[in-house]
Structure 1
Amino acid sequence: MYNDCLRLAGLEKKPLKGLLTNGKVYVKKDESGVEVLLEKGYGEKLNGEVEFSPWETLYLVGEGWLEVFDEKTGEKLGFEKLVEIFSREDRSVWSKYLVYRDLRSRGYVVKKGFGQGVDFRVYERGAYGKEAAKILVYSVFEGEPIPIKNLISLLDSARNMKKDVVIGVIERRGEVVYYALSTFNL
């Protein structure tokens, strides 16, 4: 399956080369194969380059689609080193990666969330680029408390935007279980 994905993405011969600059990973927009990844919902175009989020980077490195080099030293950075670097900036990068990886493996396009603890916007299969994301995902480790007022605020905002809210709970073994949230009046 891995080789099929690489062939489809036009990356069969070599992975994309990314540079880690100030905690962010960039790939030149004209590099072979990057357009296919953009079409599949990976990365964001910025001034002739494509920027990948930390969890996208970890996913693509883990799948063999991306190699990341330190801009200052030229050193190739492995998966574990990238986790260490990204965790300095965002302590929840590991939980976000686990949920991101799980959603991607289920065939969803996953983009960065916005405010109120929303980690991701999730597009229905086949809807990316055609419709807005319909699902907002909030990721949390099993046993981690979530203030109820945060959930109520999130649900109110989501209802106003006509979106569904899902909590991705990462179990101790690293598996992700999803719970849909909704409101009702008695």
Structure 2
Amino acid sequence: MVKNILVILSKSCIGMEHKAYLIGRKVVVFDYELGRQLYKEGFYGKFTYVPKVKDLAQCDEIESPLELSLVEALYLMKRGRIKIVTREGKEISINEFIELARKYIDLFDELYSVYEDLRSRGYIVKSGMKFGATYAVYKYGPGIDHAPFLVQVSTKNTKMDPIEIVRAGRLSHSVRKKFVIAVRDVTSGKIKYYAFKWFG
């Protein structure tokens, strides 16, 4: 059903510069050129019909919508790179989008704050789901280097099981990555990072 919607919208929305469509828990850029630009600018999103982009030169040949996470979409929205609209074409304000995202995703504010902070430090931030973490963080980008950090977003009041920390540490060590826990200070808004080093 979702794939059929993507095909229909893709055919009707090409050329709608800077517009991205909110579809469920995803934001989709149907303008192929804009999608390629966004990916090349900062490895934002993933192409619907391309499992993996091996290098940036490949982007110029890709003809596929670009799917953005809600976190990525808000980041680009705040920077004026995209305008987010409904399927009917109604523009969504930043505040409206944040309220919608909070309904879909637990700890959305924390996830976004960490993402934005890492981006502001010059890192490329992608999903770390396949590694069992929130984010995989790159210095240069996927396909160029391996992610040296795995970041798990948490809160000050979250109880952490020591066994889970050990498991995460072992996994990150096995793939030669540093495991980091990121916590946003609710008072200052600053992000604190706690890195774990595996011995043995």
TM-score interval (norm. to shorter) = 0.7 to 0.9
- Asked if 1:141 is matched to 2:155, the reply is yes
Q: Once the 2 structures are TM-superposed, how far is the Cα of residue 146 of structure 1 from its aligned partner?
A: 1.8
State the secondary structure of the residue aligned to 1:59: helix
- Asked if 1:150 is matched to 2:152, the reply is no
Structure 1 residue ranges without an equivalent (≥5): 1-13
Please give the alpha-carbon distance, in whole angstroms, between the structure 2 residues aligned to 1:174 and 1:51: 29
Please give the alpha-carbon distance, in whole angstroms, between the structure 2 residues aligned to 1:116 and 1:147: 18
- Asked if 1:46 is matched to 2:48, the reply is yes
TM-aligned CA distance change 1:130 to 1:69, over 3 Å? same
Percent identity over the alignment is 28
Aligned to 1:25: 27
Q: Once the 2 structures are TM-superposed, how far is the Cα of residue 160 of structure 1 from its aligned partner?
A: 0.9
- Asked if 1:64 is matched to 2:89, the reply is no
Residues 29, 45 of structure 1: 8 Å contact kept: no
Aligned to 1:6: none
TM-score (norm 2): 0.78
Matches within 5 A, 1:48-127: 48-71=64-87, 73-114=88-129, 118-124=133-139, 126-127=140-141
TM-aligned CA distance change 1:116 to 1:64, over 3 Å? same
Q: Once the 2 structures are TM-superposed, how far is the Cα of residue 82 of structure 1 from its aligned partner?
A: 1.4
Q: How many residues align?
A: 169
Please give the alpha-carbon distance, in whole angstroms, between the structure 2 residues aligned to 1:129 and 1:184: 29
Please give the alpha-carbon distance, in whole angstroms, between the structure 1 residues aligned to 2:131 and 2:159: 15
Please give the alpha-carbon distance, in whole angstroms, between the structure 1 residues aligned to 2:17 and 2:83: 6
Amino acid in the other structure paired with 1:34: G
Q: Root-mean-square deviation (CA), in Å? A: 1.9
For 1:91-134, what per-residue CA distance to the aligned partner results, in whole angstroms no more than 9, with x for missing partners? Answer: 1221110000000011000001115751100002x354312211
TM-aligned CA distance change 1:116 to 1:160, over 3 Å? closer
Residues 15, 65 of structure 1: 8 Å contact kept: no
Please give the alpha-carbon distance, in whole angstroms, between the structure 1 residues aligned to 2:131 and 2:105: 16
Aligned to 1:4: none
Aligned to 1:37: 38
Structure that is richer in strand per residue: 1
Runs of 4+ aligned structure 1 residues displaced above 3 Å come to none
Amino acid in the other structure paired with 1:145: K
Please give the alpha-carbon distance, in whole angstroms, between the structure 1 residues aligned to 2:196 and 2:18: 38
